[in-house]
Amino acid sequence: MPTLSRRGFFGAACVACGTGHLGFSATPVQAQTPGWSPPLPGQRCPSRFGPNDRRGYMNLLTDAKRQAAARLITRGQVIELGHRLEPAMPFFGTRRFDLHTKRTFMNPEPNNRGSNEEIVISEIGQVGTQLDAFPHQTIGDQGYNCVPNDANATRNGFREMGVDTIGTIFTRGVMIDVAKLKGVRTLPMSYEITVADLEQAIARQNLRLETADAIIINTGWNHLWGVDNAQYVRGCPGIGIAAAEWLIAREPVLLGSDNWPVEVSPNPDRNASLPVHQIALAVHGVHLLENMKLAEMSERDVGAFAFMMQPLKIAGGSGSTVAPSALL
């Protein structure tokens, strides 16, 4: 069995994982911040963008940044980064997606116009490839910029920072391929991606990180999507606390991955429940993009690209199913 340190794997060996993908065995160590707890309100608020800010790092996405992203489109090619919405998706708890075809009627005019519709029963904000808005997570009763959750939440959505307020995200995207760095198709369950892993992958891919990027992490976990859903939701590899803080220091507008929480799960510190969700959404104001489809990006060795995504205009929603794309 290979050993693992904060600087990554040494002599990692591939093993068959029983689901048609390759992984490797490893013994993880505590690479996250020991004994981490959320910063106190006086430490995290007001936001760097002021006490009334509700957009977080999206404030850094400028017209000039969008123009620079557009210049990355040189071939006119599109790679879709979102999964299909269907009942065969992995789900958590009571989340669901049911589509019922609604056949209407044949209109009486001589041209015989018929029509079809559908009724969808679903938690549309938190299924499939999805973007988390800030109200999705709190620290106690406070969300981003210490906005009280009880005052913000209503029966019909959130008064502030709903997913409908985010708008179109068009920026430079960067995919950091940690799975390929390790020479595997899929990182093993609960492997914590470290700062050293990110630095090594960025160096291997000859990438650079810039302000207002959409930073995407490839773990290979999407190979389980629709193949072994029980394994997919049981846990996953992903970034740890130190890696998340390191990435956020590079000022991205969002962090994304091909797993369901972006971060490692379960966290090596069993006293911490999805702490990167709190760090990104509640502390800093950085959106999370989950359940991405990144296999084609990895196969084609795509590093930097133009990234485009439009959340659904769900008034006051905590998130939105999305269909992001890489434009090459």
Residue 29 has pLDDT above 80, yes or no: no
What is the tens place of the pLDDT at every residue in 121-166? Answer: 888 888 899 999 999 999 999 999 999 999 999 999 999 999 999 9
Distance from C-alpha of 180 to C-alpha of 302, rounded to nearest angstrom: 12
The correct answer on CATH 3.50.30.50 for the domain covering 31-89+123-327 is yes
Closest C-alpha among 176, 184, 165 to residue 262 = 176
Token pair recorded at residue 7: 């600087």
Domain ranges of the chain: 31-89+123-327
Which amino acid would we find at residue 275? P
**Ramachandran angles phi, psi of 218, nearest 5°:** -95, 120
Residue 259 has pLDDT above 70, yes or no: yes
Provide the pLDDT confidence category of residue 258 given band limits of 50, 70 and 90: very high
Residue 28 has pLDDT above 60, yes or no: no
pLDDT at 159: 97
Distance from C-alpha of 322 to C-alpha of 328, rounded to nearest angstrom: 19
Residue 22 has pLDDT above 60, yes or no: no
What is the tens place of the pLDDT at every residue in 158-208? Answer: 999 999 999 999 999 999 999 999 999 999 999 999 999 999 999 999 999
* Burial (Cβ within 10 Å: 0-12, 13-18, ≥19) of residue 230: exposed
Token pair recorded at residue 35: 């004994």
Contact 317, 283 (CB under 8 A): no
DSSP E strands: which ranges in 147-273? 153-154, 157-158, 169-177, 192-193, 214-218, 238-239, 254-257
Token pair recorded at residue 294: 């990144």
